[in-house]
Structure 1
Amino acid sequence: MKELKERTIEKLMELGLSRNEAKAYIALIELGVSSPLDIAAASGIPVSKIYYVLSELEKKGIIEVHQSKPKLYRAIDLTRALDILIERYLEAKKDAMKLIEMLSARGRKANTKTLWIVRGRKNIINRIKYLIKNANESLIAASTDNILLLLAKNIRQAISRGVNVTLVSYKTRDEATNLIVKRFKQEAMLRIRYVIAPSVFIADDSIGIVYITRHLYRVPDKRIETALLVEDEEYLPIFSTYFRFFLWYPSKLVTPPEEFLSRPRTYRVYYRAVEDARYLLSIGIRLKAEVEGWLISGDKRKKVTLKGKVVNTYISSDKTIYNLTLVTNEGKKYLLGGKRCIIEDIETEKITLIPTT
């Protein structure tokens, strides 16, 4: 009972009550109509502070007072009280955002998109959820089956928005891995890895998080979990390359590719587009593509949007070179490469593959 009460106090504090206000409100819920002295005794709040606490709760609108001698107090309906607190919280959040934006607009402008440290499991998970929430077209993720289950709702919401998800799940328990397979086998390109490694999450090939989970610590209970937030696109290829060679390739594919690729898919991670295009062409599926990128001519770069059909793919034996050959609707032929490509005509930023029968 004591633990339940403490958890309730913490949740009410998250909605904007002070600790004493939360304790007094819970006491009123338990006691019903009560005097200040009874509330003080039940909540453990000093009598010298109880009148101030009750007046603050009254101002917030979640308790009512009867003007008798002594005064009597009662809590309003619990659902209505929570609605009031949530409304106040959202209004405070809105006001705080406005003030912060005003201060930010007046402050110095600096390039802060580099590498940042995030500490603590809860903070890391919240940051990963935010990254997933803001993914528009592409998400690659590799983590333990337990972590992916924590994030399953967020990942499925991303999938429902049309985000193309590539997953590697590290097996820690049969039950957890089976749940991951059941939930994502049809909705993401999923592989299973049998050796635990650092977790990697990259959204739209533009921002990423590398997470050292407690499983990788020798004495996990004595270490604070740590993650690296990578906002600089110059550093990000280091981690996307790690994902490709050390996490993606060595893992076992469980998604049936023909079914998963039977509908249009958008890619920001270029090698994944080439892999899937090669598979579709190999089973006789004709493939259209819509491409956004840069036409490279010497030292000049020109933004282009192309539409056409994919007629060929190439993956070098060491898997360091990937490209597609596209014939546009106007009959022009281009060799498409990924970011920082050297030999290709087009540096691809985004490509949508559209299978046709």
Structure 2
Amino acid sequence: MSIADELIKNLMGLGLSNYEARAFIALALYRETTAPNIARRAKIPLSKIYSVLRSLEEKGLIESQSKRPKVYRIVDPDYSLENLLKKYEERKNTIKELLRKVLSLEKYEKGGLWVVSGLDNIIRRVRDLMNKSAISLALATPDYLLKKFSSKLSALGRNGVNLSLVIYETDSMKTKFYVNTLSKYARVKVRSIPAVSTLFIDREVGVVFYLKTSNEMPYLDESYAMIVEDENLLRMINDFFHLALWLTSTDVGPNLNLFSKPLSYTHFWRLVEDVDILFKNNLGPVYVEIEGSYVKSKEPAYIKGEVIDYSIGENWLSYSIVVKSNEGKVTVGGWGCFLEDVEAKKVILYSSFCEKIFSSK
């Protein structure tokens, strides 16, 4: 692609028509000239060139002298393009606001399974979904892809999002770098056998994505992602990440400093595993605040107290904790539990490391 073609593509991206972009570039090459010369160089019909130039003037990109024949020149790009960008931004904001109003006219029920294709589209969509993380985020992906997400994950970790990260090792140096970088904010495990990339956010959305492009043929993009919003399918994503990816990966060693502040969880298996770490390192007492529902009545439940026991099943399919609260001993389970007293939807954990003093009153 020539410089002129690249310029045309980018100018059209800012809202110029093909004729306007070509005329603008032709005039830039002339510095200043007449309409027929611009039409000839830009290969624009003479019958069209005056309306094209009038549009460029209205956009503030060129100016003219009112003499015979009329002479045109481009305005200083530092000013004119900045003005164009400002108008583009204003138009983008207007469109976003109008779309929000349209989308709010009807209640939208999330659900189902959606497909995204194309490498760039998938990366943008995954980043966008990461921005919506409120409590817990679990991600399994190759080390070479973490370049796309590392800064975002670090920012989420600093802002209190609970991160569970599995790195597929393809390059030991890259993996070591990201382990050192991200273990400050996340529980990190490493897997020597790569699998499909998987993202699971709270209990709201899951993404399974496969990225495949060719350096020799970059136009051959066979990258696909499935965005999962259906609750039953999300349960499958939760179990797939936990059982097939998390438990089959090697723990790099828990960073106990993660427990120096309250941690929030929507992924119950991570909560119980962290309780296990705290108990085994004699870092009790451990306190929790739990939002959920009573298993039998389905009524909302709010439990606050000390964790006095926990259980991890032999097959890793069952996780529970026992909380000593004002209601007495309450057993708490995760998503879809039926033997426990309460199904937890959100849990806040306080260890003895926490600066905040937890009161079980």
TM-score category of the 2 structures, normalised to the smaller one:
0.7 to 0.9
Q: How far, CA to CA, are the matches of 2:28 and 2:275 in structure 1?
A: 62
Q: Aligned AA for 1:173?
A: D
One of 335, 339, 352 as aligned partner of 2:348: 352
**118-127 vs 178-187, greater mean Cα deviation:** 178-187
Asked if 1:342 corresponds to 2:341, the answer is no
**331-340 vs 280-289, greater mean Cα deviation:** 331-340
Give the CA deviation at 1:268. Answer: 1.0
Q: Aligned AA for 1:266?
A: S
Q: How far, CA to CA, are the matches of 2:154 and 2:75 in structure 1?
A: 38
Give the CA deviation at 1:222. Answer: 5.2
Write out per-residue CA displacement over residues 8-64 of structure 1, whole angstroms, 9 at most, x where no aligned residue.
Answer: 433333322223333333444454334334444554544443332222222222333
Q: Aligned AA for 1:68?
A: K
Asked if 1:294 corresponds to 2:290, the answer is no
- The aligned counterpart of 1:13 is 12
* Closer/same/farther in 2, CA of residues 158 and 64 from structure 1, 3 Å limit: farther
Q: Aligned AA for 1:149?
A: K
Task: Assess if the C-alpha contact under 8 Å between 2:62 and 2:74 holds in 1.
Answer: yes
Q: Which segments of 5 or more consecutive residues in structure 2 lack a partner in the other structure? A: 354-361
Local SS of the residue matching 1:214: coil
One of 198, 201, 219 as aligned partner of 1:200: 198
Task: Assess if the C-alpha contact under 8 Å between 2:211 and 2:222 holds in 1.
Answer: no
Q: How far, CA to CA, are the matches of 2:315 and 2:61 in structure 1?
A: 66
Task: Assess if the C-alpha contact under 8 Å between 2:213 and 2:221 holds in 1.
Answer: no
Give the CA deviation at 1:318. Answer: 0.7
Alignment of 1:122-133 (within 5 A): 122-133=120-131
Alignment of 1:108-257 (within 5 A): 111=109, 113-214=111-212, 224-254=222-252, 256-257=254-255
- The aligned counterpart of 2:48 is 49
- The aligned counterpart of 1:61 is 60
Q: Which segments of 5 or more consecutive residues in structure 1 lack a partner in the other structure? A: none
Percent identity over paired residues: 31
Task: Assess if the C-alpha contact under 8 Å between 2:213 and 2:223 holds in 1.
Answer: no
Q: How far, CA to CA, are the matches of 2:56 and 2:181 in structure 1?
A: 45
Q: How far, CA to CA, are the matches of 2:159 and 2:323 in structure 1?
A: 27
Write out per-residue CA displacement over residues 294-315 of structure 1, whole angstroms, 9 at most, x where no aligned residue.
Answer: 123x3x1121223222222210
Q: How far, CA to CA, are the matches of 1:326 and 1:67 in structure 2?
A: 84
One of 321, 325, 336 as aligned partner of 2:322: 325
Give the CA deviation at 1:250. Answer: 1.4
Write out per-residue CA displacement over residues 181-229 of structure 1, whole angstroms, 9 at most, x where no aligned residue.
Answer: 232121221112122211111111210111122289xx99856211111
* Closer/same/farther in 2, CA of residues 15 and 263 from structure 1, 3 Å limit: same
* Closer/same/farther in 2, CA of residues 26 and 193 from structure 1, 3 Å limit: farther
Give the CA deviation at 1:270. Answer: 0.7
* Closer/same/farther in 2, CA of residues 157 and 29 from structure 1, 3 Å limit: farther
TM-score by length of 1: 0.87
TM-score by length of 2: 0.87
Q: How far, CA to CA, are the matches of 1:95 and 1:308 in structure 2?
A: 49
Q: Aligned AA for 1:341?
A: C
Task: Assess if the C-alpha contact under 8 Å between 1:188 and 1:255 holds in 2.
Answer: no
Local SS of the residue matching 1:152: helix
- The aligned counterpart of 1:83 is 82
